[in-house]
Chains A and B, each alone.
Chain A
Amino acid sequence: MADITKNEIMHIAKLAMLNLTDTEIEGYTKDMQEILAYAEMINNLDTSDIDETIGATKQKNKFRKDEVIEFQTRDNLLQNAPSQAEGMFRIPKVINT
Chain B
Amino acid sequence: MSKQDYEIVIGLEVHCELSTKTKIFCSCSAEFGGEPNTHCCPICMAMPGTLPVLNEKVVEYAVKAGLATNCKIAQNSKNDRKNYFYPDLPKSYQISQFDIPLCYDGYINIETEEGEKKIRLERIHIEEDAGKLNHDDYGRGSFVDLNRAGVPLIECVSKPDLRSKEEVDSYLRKIKSIFEYIGISDCKMQEGSLRADVNVSVRKKGATEFGTRTEMKNMNSFRNISRLIEYETNRQIEVLEEGGEIIQETRRWDDISGKTFSMRDKEDAEDYRYFPDPDLVAIQLSDEYIEKIRNALPELPESRKKRYLEEYQLIPKAANFVTSSKYYSDMFEEAIKICQNPKTASNLMMSEIARILNEREEEPEQIPFTGRELGELVQLIDKGTISSSISKKVLEELFENPKSAPSKIIEEKGWVQISDEGAIQEVVNKILQANPQSIADYRAGKDRALGFLVGQAMKETKGKANPQLLNKLFIEELKK
Contact = CB atoms under 8 A, between A and B. Distances in A.
Contacts of B451: none
Interface size class of A (residues with CB under 8 A): 35 or more
Contacts of A65: 56
A14 B273 CA distance: 13
Contacts of B77: 54
A57 to B, nearest CB: 6
A10 to B, nearest CB: 11
A68 to B, nearest CB: 5
Interface stretch (B64-72, B111-119, B138-146, B156-164): B138-146
Given A56-B276, A77-B42, A94 B282 contact: no
Nearest to B284: A60
Chain B interface mostly helix, strand, loop or mixed? loop
A70 B142 CA distance: 26
Given A17-B85, A54-B78, A63-B56, A68 B27 contact: yes
Interface in A56-71: 56-57, 59-71
Contacts of A83: 141
Chain A interface mostly helix, strand, loop or mixed? loop
A90 interface: yes
B281 A62 contact: yes
A67 B21 contact: yes
B28 A68 contact: yes
B283 A15 contact: no
Contacts of B37: 74, 77-78, 87-89
Nearest to A52: B76
Interface string B36-79: 11101110010000000111110100000000000000001110
Nearest to A92: B141
A42 interface: no
A89 B143 contact: yes
Contact of B78 (A55, A71, A87, A93): A55
Contact of A91 (B28, B45, B141, B252): B141
Given A64-B27, A71-B41, A94-B133, A88 B282 contact: no
B57 to A, nearest CB: 4
A74 B100 CA distance: 36
Nearest to B139: A93
Contact of B53 (A63, A68, A91): A63
Contacts of B144: 88-91
Given A55-B78, A86-B36, A92-B141, A15 B284 contact: no
28 contacts: A11-B271, A15-B273, A54-B76, A54-B78, A54-B100, A55-B78, A56-B278, A60-B283, A61-B281, A61-B283, A64-B56, A66-B20, A67-B27, A69-B28, A71-B28, A71-B40, A74-B40, A77-B37, A77-B42, A77-B45, A89-B143, A90-B141, A91-B144, A92-B142, A93-B139, A93-B141, A94-B135, A94-B142
**7 nearest CB pairs, A to B:** A71-B41, A55-B282, A63-B56, A69-B27, A88-B143, A66-B57, A89-B144
Given A63-B55, A91-B143, A91-B144, 5 more contacts: A61-B284, A65-B56, A74-B38, A85-B140, A88-B37
